[in-house]
Amino acid sequence: MEKKLIKQLALPLSFRNVKNHSNFIINKVNEVALSLIDEFKDIKKFKKKFDFPVLILYGPSGSGKTHLAHIYKEITDAKFIKKFSNENLNQAKLGKSFIFDNFDKAECLNENLFIHFFNEILFNLGSLLIITSKPPNEINFGLTDLESRIRSCISTKIELPDDEFLFSILVKELSDKKIFLNDKLCLYIIKRIKRNYKSISHFTQALDIISLEEKRKITLKQIKEVLNSLEVKT
């Protein structure tokens, strides 16, 4: 009889990563952005307060802008835009809300058309969330009117997480996967991992596979191996 495998192979199952209000960790680096997004629950009130129903979130990759965008989508039923089109303009006329991701990297943006889109957002009941890695004053536009309008919108920066926040995220991600490490090991990880959400997510996913395969307590050696495999800083 063939020798039975000791390891139970971790099947490459795909689980939905739900990004919503209930699983968002609030911290000083994102609390202002979250409070502004919450105000979109009343578009008319938002317009009276800020003039334009537009919010610009900017900051480095991995700072949590996408999670905040999904919370905004949950509130406004917004549609993600990666390449702007006439269809988006027509939808804006109907009061639809939008999330323009990677706005500073948008290819061949028709600025004249986008101004019309901006006006439809303003005059109807829709709204717009713009996500960018650059602050508004560093994005170059060909049209002065568009540049002026974008810079007139309220904007807020999302910073990368500090140690305390990173620790909270790590513990939550591990807990969701039924992996429990002591504080010493968690501190060891956050001192060596890249300071963003993606790195934490990739790390916990890799550790989860090991946990499912080995079916025993995670060791420091395994943690080091995962860190090295992800090419995080040492």
Alpha-carbon span 45 to 49, nearest angstrom: 6
Enter the pTM of the model.
0.75
- On the question of pLDDT at 228 being above 60, the answer is yes
Alpha-carbon span 86 to 105, nearest angstrom: 19
- On the question of pLDDT at 223 being above 70, the answer is yes
Where are the domain boundaries for CATH 1.10.8 in the chain?
A: 163-229
Residues 20, 210, 233: CA angle, nearest 5 degrees: 75
* CATH number belonging to domain 21-157: 3.40.50.300
What 3-10 contacts at long range (C-beta under 8 Å, 24+ apart), as own/partner pairs, is 7/213, 7/214, 7/215, 8/212, 8/213, 8/215, 9/213, 10/208, 10/209, 10/210, 10/212, 10/213
Identify whether the C-beta of residue 157 lies closer than 8 Å to the C-beta of residue 181: no
58 forms beta bridges with 132, 157
Where are the domain boundaries for CATH 3.40.50.300 in the chain?
A: 21-157
Domain 163-229 classification at class level = mainly alpha
- pLDDT tens digits, one per residue of 117-146: 999 999 999 999 999 999 999 988 889 999
